[in-house]
Amino acid sequence: MTDTPVLEVENLKVHFPVKSSAIQAMGQALFRGLKGADASAQDERLIHPRVHAVDGVTFQLGHAEILGLVGESGCGKTTTGRTVLRLLKPTSGRIVFEGEDITNRKEDKLRPLRPRMQIVFQDPHAALNPGMTIGQAIMDALLLHETRDREEAKASTLRAMDEVGLTPAEDLFSKYPADLSGGQKQRAVLARAIILRPSLVVADEPVAMLDMSIRAKILELLLELRDRYGIAYLFITHDLATAKFVCDRIAIMYLGRIVEMGPTELIFRDPKHPYTRALLGAIPVPQPGRVRERTLPRGEVPDAIFPPAGCRFHPRCPVVLPTCGWEGHDFVDYLDQRRLNPKQAHADEAVIGEAEGWRADLFEARRRLRNQDPGAVASYVRSILPQAPEAMTKAVIGVDVVDDEVVVRFRNPDALLPKEVAGRIVECLLY
Binding site for another protein (CB under 8 A): 72-73, 181, 183, 211-217, 219-220, 238-242, 244-245, 268, 278-291, 294, 296-297, 299-301, 336-337, 339-340, 342, 345, 354-355
Residues contacting residue 42 through CB under 8 Å, at least 6 positions apart: 361, 362
One-character DSSP codes across 200-251: EEEEESTTTTS-HHHHHHHHHHHHHHHHHH--EEEEEES-HHHHHHH-SEEE
For 100-151, give the DSSP string.
EE-TT--HHHHGGGGGGEEEE-S-HHHHS-TTS-HHHHHHHHHHHHT---HH
Of the candidates 205, 215, 269, the residue with the CA atom closest to the CA atom of residue 238: 205
Q: In terms of CB distance, is 105 or 339 closer to another protein?
A: 339
Least CB distance from residue 226 to another protein, whole Å?
A: 14
Q: Which is nearer to another protein, 91 or 337 (CB)?
A: 337
Shortest CB 348 distance to another protein, Å: 11
- Nearer to another protein (CB atom), residue 278 or residue 378: 278
CB of 281 to another protein, least distance (A): 8
Nearer to another protein, 16 or 245 (CB): 245
Task: State which residue, 141 or 253, has the beta carbon closest to another protein.
Answer: 253
Q: List, as own/partner pairs, every contact residues 347-350 make where C-beta atoms lie below 8 angstroms and the sequence separation is at least 24, other chains included.
A: 348/384
Query: Residue 171 in contact with residue 165, Cβ under 8 Å?
Result: no
CB of 279 to another protein, least distance (A): 6
Residue 143 vs 305, nearer CB to another protein: 305
C-beta separation of 254 from 275 below 8 A = yes
Q: In angstroms, what is the minimal distance from the CB of 168 to another protein?
A: 16
Q: Which residues have CB under 8 Å from 93's CB, separation 6+?
A: 9, 10, 11, 12, 13, 56, 57, 103
Quote the least distance from Cβ 213 to another protein, whole Å: 4
Contact by Cβ (8 Å): 349, 316: no
Closest CB 295 distance from another protein, rounded Å:
11
Q: Return the H-helix or E-strand segment holding 171.
A: helix 169-173
If the CB atoms of residues 136 and 337 are measured against another protein, the closer one turns out to be 337
Q: How far is the CB of 302 from another protein (least distance, A)?
A: 9
Distance between CA atoms of residues 293 and 84, nearest Å = 39
Q: What is the DSSP letter of 370?
A: S
Nearest residue (CB) to another protein, 89 versus 287: 287
Cβ(243)–Cβ(276) below 8 Å: no
